Structure 1
Amino acid sequence: MLSTRLGTLTMGTITLGAVAGVIFAATVVADDQPVAQSDATAVNPATTATAEMITVADEPVEPEISAPAIVEPEPFDYGECPPEARACVDLDGGRSWLQDNGQVTYGAVPIGQGGPGYETPRAGFHVSRKVIDDVSYVFDLAPMPFAVYFTSVGHAFHEGDPAGDSHGCVRLAPGDAEVYFHTLQVGDLIHIY
Structure 2
Amino acid sequence: MIGFSDRRQQSTRPQLPAWLDRYTTLGLYGLLVGTVLCLVAFLTNPVPDPSFPWATLPESLRLPIAQPRIEHWPVTYTIGIWLWVFCFPALFLAGYRRYGDGNRGAAVWLVGLPTLAMLGWTTYCRFFWPKLHPPTWNAPAYTFVCWLYCSTYDVLWSNTAYTIALFGIVTTLLVVRHQDRDRYALLGFGFLALPLGLPALYEGYRRVTRTRS
**TM-score, normalising length: structure 2:** 0.21
Q: Which has the higher strand share?
A: 1
**TM-score, normalising length: structure 1:** 0.23
Structure number with greater Rg is 1
Name the structure, 1 or 2, with higher relative contact order (CA <8 Å, separation 6+): 2
